[in-house]
Amino acid sequence: MYRDIDEQVGSFIEASLTRMSGTGETNYRYFLPISSLGRSRINDNFISSCINYIASRYGIEAIYENDSRGFDLYINLDRCVLTPYQSRFYNAAFGRYHS
């Protein structure tokens, strides 16, 4: 389950970095559907586990939306945890926007 979250969140961070290079904006919102995590049945413990994992691993706020069966993720590139690759990507995107 966490590997699926890692893949999805990594993609969202990289998409944010790409978008930042054109806009300079560092705050983005994405939707992570439960179906993309390989789970058809969920409970409160699963939801809490996902929210806590995303917050502790990435510094990203996740809010579960029951109506849409997924998480709204609020990514702030100035505060979230980046991999070394993403950090280089951030620096390059920041440089492109400010050049």
Query: Band of the pLDDT at 97, cuts 50, 70, 90?
Result: confident
Say what the pTM is: 0.89
19 has pLDDT over 80: yes
User: Is the torsion defined by CA of 43, 48, 49, 54 positive or negative?
Assistant: positive
CB 80 within 8 A of CB 61: no
pLDDT band at 21 (very low <50, low <70, confident <90, very high): confident
Strands lying side by side in the sheet with 61-65: 27-33, 70-76, 61-65
Whether the pLDDT of residue 24 is over 80: the answer is yes
Distance CA 6, CA 3 (A): 5
What pLDDT digit, counting tens, does each position of 65-88 carry?
999 999 999 999 999 999 999 999
